[in-house]
Chain A
Amino acid sequence: MIKHSTTAILILAAALSVSCENDIEYKGDGGGHMMVVNASSIAGTPVSVEVTRSRFFLDSPSNRQILYDADVTIVHNGEQRTLSYDPEQELFMDSEIVREGDSVTVIVSHSNYGKATANDMVPYPSSITVEDSHVSSDSLWTVCLSINRNHSEPDNGLTHYYRLNLNAFANIILSLQSDDTAEYENEPDTISYWLDIRIPRPTAIKLGMASNFDYIEDFGDAGDYVFSSGNLLFTDELFSDGDRLEFIIPMPHAEEYDYSYWGWNPDIVDYICNITFETLTEQSYRYIKSVEEYDSNDFAIFQEPITIMGNFNGALGNLFSSSSQTISIRQ
C-alpha cells in the first residue's frame, strides 16, 4: 500500500507541475486607454502640464503616447489662459509664474478622451531655519532644524503638509593625481560619498519611517532610523512638541578613506548637507505618499494594492502644488 501511495504521489506531483497555468482573456473594465494629466503649480514657476495616455496593462510599455493635440487651459486667480505645447520639454507651459495663495485650475480636453479638470491652491510656504549645527568630539554632526509657519497665511486650523529632502555627502578632495589628463591637470579630483543620516527613533516613529525591517539597524540604545538620503513626508503634527527635527550625521575621518592602493591620499574632506523643504497641499501630500508606498511595494503578493491619489476629474494623474526652500549647510 505504501509503495502504491508513493507511486501515486509521484504521479500527482508530476500532474501538479503541469497544466496548472493557462493564459486567460481579460474580461474586466478599462480595456482601452485613459487620459493622464500630470501638472504642477509650484510657487515661483509657471504652471506646466503633461498630457499622455495610459498603457493597458497587457500592452508593451512603449505604447505610452503624448497627446500633443490636447487643448490645455488654466484658470489662474480667475484669469483663463490657453497653454501652448513646448516640444523640447514635451510639456504644455504657461507664460506666467504662480505665487503662494494663488488658485489654479487646469482644464484639459481631448477629442478621444473627453475633458478633465483639477484645481488646487499654491500653498503658503512654511520655512526652516538651522537652529544648531555642531560636531561633537565623537565626530557626530548634529543638525537641528525648526519649522516656521507662515504667519501671513489665514489660520484656518488645517493641517500643514511637508516634504523634506535631506542629502548629506562628503566631498573627498584628492591631491593631483599622476593619471590626470592634461585638461584637468591643475584641478583636484573630488570623490563624493553619500553619508548616513540618523534620526532618533522617537521622531522616526512619528515620521512613520520605521516600517521596513531592511532599513532598521541597531545603534545602541538610541535605535536610530538610518538612511542614506531621501524624503521625509510629514505633517506639522510632528512638530507639535517643540517644532524641532534633530538628526545626526556620523562623519568618517579623512584617514578612514584608504586609497593607498591607487596611491591617492585625501587632503580635505568637505561635509555638506543639502536640505530642500517643501510645503505641500493636502492633495499633493497624499499623492506623494501614495506614490512612495507604491514604489516601496517590493513584495507585491504580501502587500495590499495601492490606490494612487489623483485629483483630476476625468483623467488619471495629478495637479501637484507646492512651495519650496533649499538650503545647504557645511560642517
Chain B
Amino acid sequence: MNIHMYNYVKKIIATVRIVTLLAVYSALPASVLATAPGQFTLSGYITDAKSGETLIGATLLDTISGRGTITNEYGFFSLSLPPGKASLTCGYVGYRHKSLDLVLENDTTLRIVLEETAELGEVTIVGNRLELGVQGSQMSAIDLPVKQIKAVPAMFGEVDVLKALQLLPGVQGGTEGSAGLLVRGGNQDENLLLLDGVPLYNVNHMFGLFSAFNADAIKNVTLYKGSFPARYCGRLSSIVDVRMKDGDLYNYHGNVSIGFVSSKFNLEGPIVKGRTSFNLSARRTYSDLIINSAIKAAQLLDMEDNSDRIGMGYYFYDLNLKLTHMFSDNDRLYVSWYNGDDDIFFRYRTKDTYIKEKDRLGWKWGNTVAAVRWNHVMNSRLFMDLSGNYTQYRHRMKLEVDSRDTRNNESSYDRLNMNSGIFDWTLRSDFHWSPGPDHEIRFGAYGTRHLFRPDVLAVREDYSDTDTIWHNSLEVSQKDTHANEVQAYFEDNMSLGNVVKVNAGLSYSMFNVNSRTYHSLEPRLSGRVLLNDRLSLKAGYAYMTQYIHLLSNNSISLPTDLWVPATDRIAPEHSHQFATGVFYNLPQIADFSVEGYYKIMDNLLEYREGASYLAGTTDWQNKVVMGRGWSYGIEFLVQRSFGRLDGWVSYTWGHSRRQFDRPGMELNGSKAFDAKYDRRHDFKITGNYHFTDHFDLSATWMYETGACSSLYSQFYEANPVTDKYYYIGELGWYGERNSYRLNPYHRLDLSMNWHRPAKLIEGGTHTFNISVFNVYNRMNPFLVYVYEDGYYDVASDNYVENRTLRQLTLFPILPTFSFSLSF
C-alpha cells in the first residue's frame, strides 16, 4: 500500500467513524429514553439444531402480547416484552415450529434451535412473513430460501439463483437463457447484487447463461423491487441480497454433484467444534475438456500426424469459502471469499517444416470478493456489524500471433492486450437496535473507494528479416478514475398501534469523482394498514440514486461491458418509485397479493446511435447519451406454501418507456419509445409436487410478450449529394426505435427428482435428477435477421434473389440429467 492509498484509506475510515458516531450519538438519547419502562428484552440467535447455522428471517412471536420479530441477516433477534409469562412460537421455512413458554423477569438471552422437517405439510416457500407478508410494513420484496430455488427446473441441470428470481412478478430475464434481471421496467445495471453484503459487478458466466451464485454455497436470497429500506442504496431498480451458508459447527457433511455442463462439490464442517466452522464450495464446467479431447482424438486418427495443432475451449469456475468463528455468544467473526472466472482460450501451432506459426488467444473475466465481518451484540437491544470488503471485476484479453519462416529468417510477432475492471474497497458499520416493542431501528454508514479502469488497449507489432527490423507499438489507455462514495442511513420500523406499521428512513450519500462531488438525500417510506389478521393494505415510496453505470448493449452479456462512474459530464441516475398493494392470506391455502407501481427514472444512459459496443479509442463518455424513462405496471401473485403442492402463479402487466431528447443526445428523433425489454404481459406458473418422500416433480410454464427490436424494414436511396465523394447506396429505415416486436416467448420446463439413501455412506442420500428445458420445443426468438439466398435462373438469364426474415433460437428442447450425493 503506497502512501497515497494509505491516506485515502485513512480518510475513508475517518469519514465512516464520524458519520457512524454522529448517527449513534444522535440516536442515543432516544435509545435510553425509548425503552419503555417495565419492559424486558429477549434477545439471541435462532439456529439450525443440527448444524448451528443461523437462520435468516426466522419468526418469533409472543402469542400472549401479540408482539413478534424476525431474525436479521445474521440470525439475531431482539424482542421487548412485558414482564411475566411469555408464550413464544418460533418458525422458519422448512423447519418444525417450536413453542416455548417462559417467565420474563429481566433481560434474557436465548439461543433457539429449530429442527428441519421432512414432513411435506410443513414445506413453505416464502418465509419472513412478519416482515414481508401481510403483517409486515415492507412491500415489493420477497424471500427465496435456497430450498425453493433448488426445486425450480434448471437449464442444463444447473440450478441458478437469478433464474429462479426471474419467475417472480415484476422480474424479467431479458434475452433467452440470460441470467440478467430486469426489474419493474428497469435496465440490467440497475440491480445491486450483494454476496454477503458485498457488491458483485458482473454476475454472468457463459455470456449470461449462468450466474455467479452457486446454489450449494447459498443460504438465503432476498429480492427488493421497490420500497427499499434506507440501508440499501446505489441502484435504481432492485436489491438482491444473497447470503452464504456459514458452515456446520458440529458435523462434517457435503454434497457432490455431476451435471450436464458442470460438476460441483460442497463441504462444510467444524474446525473447532461448536466454535469455528467452514463452508467450501467449488463448481467448474468442463466443455473445454470435452472439446479438447475431441480435437485430440481427431488428430490421433490422422495417421500421418501432419496436421496443425489446435487447442480451444471455454470453462468457468467458482470458489466460495466462508469461515465463521464464535468468540462468545456476543461476538462472531466471519470471513467470506469468492473467486470466479470465465476463460476462453485458443491455441494454434503449425507443423510445417519451414513456416512456424504459433497463435494464442486468452480471454478471461471474473470477480473476486472478500469480506471480513465482526458481529457484536453490544447489549440485548443493540447489535453491531462491522465489515471491511473488497470486490473487483476484471476483464483481460491477450492475443499473440508469432510467425517465423526458417528459410529466409523472416519473423513477425504481433500482440494485443486489452484489460479493464472495477475495484472497490469498503468499510462499513451497521447497527440494529430495538429500543422498545414498537421500534426497530437500523442505522449505519459506509465508505467506498472505487477504482474504475475503463479500457486499456495495447498493440505491439515486431517484424524482422535479414535486412529489416521493424517495430510498432500503440497504447490507447483511458485514464483510471478514482471515486469516493459515502453513505449514512437511518431507518425505523415502527408500530403505530396494532393497525399501522411504518418503515421510515432517510439515506444520505455522497459521490466524489475527479473534482466533482454529488450529494443525494433519499427518503424512504413503506407502511401497512392491517384491516384484519389476513388482509392488509400497503404503500411505499423510495428515491434512489445510482452513481455507477454499466455500458452494455443489454441483449447479451459481454465481458467487455464496462462499469463506469458518474463524471463531470455524466450525471448520476435517479429514480422515484411509488407502489401500493393489497395483501391477503388464506391460511393453509395460499397468499394473494396485488401490487401496482409507478417509477420515474432520470439520467439513464444509452449508447448513441451508431456507437460501437466494442472497446475503442473513443472516450466512453462520447459514446453515450442521457435521457429519462418511466415504467408502470401491476403485479399479481398467488403463492401456495403448504401441502404436497407448493408454488406460485404470477402475472405482470407492465409498460416501460424511454425518452432521450436533450440537445445533442437525441434518440428516436427525441420521441419517446418503448424500452428494449418492455414486455406488456408476463405470466409465470411454477409448482412442485411431492409425490412421496423419494420422488418430486417440478414444472414451470411462462409466457411473455416478445421483446422489442429496431429492424430496418425499408431501404431507400441516399440523397445523391452524399455520393459526391463516395457512393453510399441504400439507407435503412426502422420507423420508431424498438417498434418491431419479436414473437412471444413461452416454454414449459420439467424437473424430476428421485432421492434414495446412499448404501455406501451412512446417512447419505443420492439424488437423480432429470430436467427437460423447453419441453414442447418452442422456437423462441433470440434475434431476427434477413437471410439472403439466390440462384441463377437460366431461362430468364437472371439471378433470382430471395430474402426471408429468419429467427434464431438459442435453446430448443434440452433434456439433461444430473446425479448428486449428499452426505
Contacts and interface: CB of A to CB of B under 8 A. Distances in A.
A305 B613 CA distance: 12
Contacts of A21: 787, 806-809
Contact of B722 (A5, A26, A288, A297): A288
A40 B720 contact: yes
B805 interface: yes
A34 B737 contact: no
B33 to A, nearest CB: 59
Contacts of B784: 24
B617 interface: yes
A213 B803 contact: no
Contacts of A64: 716-717
Nearest to A296: B610
B721 A40 contact: yes
Interface in B677-729: 710-722, 724-726, 728
Interface residues of B, number: 79
A158 interface: no
Interface string A13-52: 0011001111111111111011010111010000000101
A212 interface: yes
B810 A28 contact: no
A291 interface: yes
B816 interface: yes
Interface stretch (B88-96, B104-112, B468-476, B590-598): B468-476
B771 to A, nearest CB: 12
A14 to B, nearest CB: 11
A54 B734 CA distance: 12
B614 interface: yes
Interface stretch (B3-11, B365-373, B739-747): B739-747
B601 to A, nearest CB: 19
B735 interface: yes
Interface stretch (A149-157, A189-197, A258-266, A313-321): A313-321
Nearest to A310: B733
Contact of A218 (B474, B710, B715): B474
Interface in B257-293: 258-261, 287, 290
A5 B731 contact: no
Contacts of B787: 21, 23
B804 interface: yes
Most buried by A among B259, B731, B803: B731
A304 B608 contact: yes
Given A23-B807, A211-B616, A299-B612, 14 more contacts: A1-B819, A8-B815, A21-B806, A24-B805, A28-B711, A38-B719, A40-B719, A212-B612, A216-B617, A290-B609, A291-B722, A291-B728, A304-B607, A316-B714
Interface of B: 258-261, 287, 290, 457, 472-474, 476, 553, 606-614, 616-618, 622, 667-669, 710-722, 724-726, 728, 730-735, 737, 739-741, 743, 777, 779, 781, 784, 786-787, 801, 803-817, 819
22 contacts: A1-B258, A21-B806, A22-B809, A23-B804, A24-B743, A30-B735, A34-B716, A38-B717, A39-B719, A57-B712, A58-B803, A61-B801, A217-B474, A231-B725, A288-B722, A299-B614, A302-B553, A305-B732, A306-B610, A307-B609, A316-B716, A317-B719
Interface of A: 1-2, 5-6, 8-9, 12, 15-16, 19-31, 33-34, 36, 38-40, 42, 50, 52-61, 64, 165, 208, 210-213, 216-218, 230-231, 287-288, 290-291, 293-297, 299, 302-308, 316-318, 320, 322
A-B pairs, 6 with minimum CB distance:
A293-B610, A38-B719, A54-B716, A305-B710, A54-B714, A36-B716
